[in-house]
Structure 1
Amino acid sequence: MTEVELLADDLREVIGRFVRAVRAHAPTPSDARAETLAFLERTGPVSIALLADGRGVTHQTMRLVIARLASEGWLELVSDPQDRRGYLVHLTEKGVAENAAARKARAEWIADALAATMDPREMATLRAAVPLLQRIADLALQ
């Protein structure tokens, strides 16, 4: 393996473990409900078909998830102005608040982990790495 390939594999491994640690220890659910709410926050209102495709589930499965979330007040279906037969799935204020609370809980867990394991110099190193990782993440937007 080349140096770049070794670095890529190390990053893949540690970022995956980091994400799993946050999911396991932060007091937030990692289930269809939470993932659907987060997806809608990232994309904005979308059709059920696009939501199912984006989440990698069947249309029928997504309809069931949406029906449950709508009945609990997390999202709502609004007529699609481009397709009068269809609907767009929108987050409600309750759904937006839930996403904000989940993000806050995850950030608090990460902050506690940083404070418990890193000195200021190490935290500065991590801070410097954020824009570099962002540059890679932004490739997905292109």
Structure 2
Amino acid sequence: MAETLVPSLALAEDLRRAIGAFVRHVRAEGDTPRSAQTETLDLLGREGPLSIAALAARRKVKHQSMRLVVSQLEAEGLVDRIVHPRDKRAWNVALTKAGAAWISASRRTRASAIARMIAPLSAADREILRTVTAILDRLAAGDQEPPPHQHDLGFR
């Protein structure tokens, strides 16, 4: 374990650095900076309606801070408060049509920036990116076993 951990740590640092730089570059190219508001909108877009307490816990911020963020988003017409489906005394925060449209536009902008970046790549490099994407998806899902059809790209 120890002999595989050291190279894994070095690779992990390289991956962290490269992914961070890539994300920052894409956000700069697409003019879609991160903020408490955009991260909250993205979270609601991925997970659906949530209470302020759940939003605060998932974003690892204080309840009061999340209340302020939600109030700002509500004032901009990007979220609404809706009755909690199981507890009619409580409420959740949900995206409005304008909030969902904002998320879609932001994602399209970032995808377009990435498409412009990968357009000049060779077919071989694009295939490597497809494989890397599949590996990252597996790691994000907690699945570390390679699929039986994984391609050997000839590099280590």
TM over 0.5: yes
Distance of 1:26 and 1:81 partners within structure 2? 37
**Which residue of structure 2 aligns with residue 88 of structure 1?**
92
* 1:4 CA drift (Å): 2.5
Aligned to 2:88, what secondary structure does the other structure show? Answer: strand
Whole-Å Cα distance in 2 between the matches of residues 14 and 38 of structure 1?
22
Q: CA deviation at 1:50?
A: 0.6
Check if 1:130 corresponds to 2:144: no
**Structure 1 Cα separation of the partners of residues 7 and 76 of structure 2:** 50
> 1:80-130, CA deviations, whole angstroms, 9 ceiling, x for partnerless residues?
1333332101111111111010000001111111124x2222112111221
**Structure 2 residue identity aligned to 1:90:** A
What is the DSSP-based 3-state SS (H/G/I as helix, E as strand, rest coil) of the residue aligned with 1:76? strand
Q: Which has the higher contact order (CA 8 A, sep 6+)?
A: 1
Structure 2: runs of 5+ lacking an equivalent: 144-156
Specify the SS of the correspondent of 2:24.
Answer: helix
Measure how far apart 1:24 and its partner are: 2.3
Structure 1 window deviating more from structure 2 (24-33 vs 58-67): it is 24-33
**Shift, 1:21, TM fit:** 1.5
Larger Rg belongs to:
2
Q: Secondary structure at the match of 1:2?
A: helix
1:9 maps onto 2:13 in alignment? yes
The code of the aligned residue for 1:125 comes to: I
Number of residue pairs the alignment of both structures matches = 139
C-alpha RMSD over aligned residues: 1.7
Q: Distance in 2 between matches of 1:113 and 1:94?
A: 29
Distance (Å, rounded) in 1 between the aligned partners of 2:60 and 2:25: 23
- In structure 1, the partner of 2:66 is 62
For structure 1, the 5+ residue unaligned runs are none
TM-score where L is the length of structure 2: 0.81
Q: Could you say which residue in structure 2 is the equivalent of 1:109? A: 113
Take 1:110 and 1:81, find their aligned partners in 2: how far apart are those partners? 38
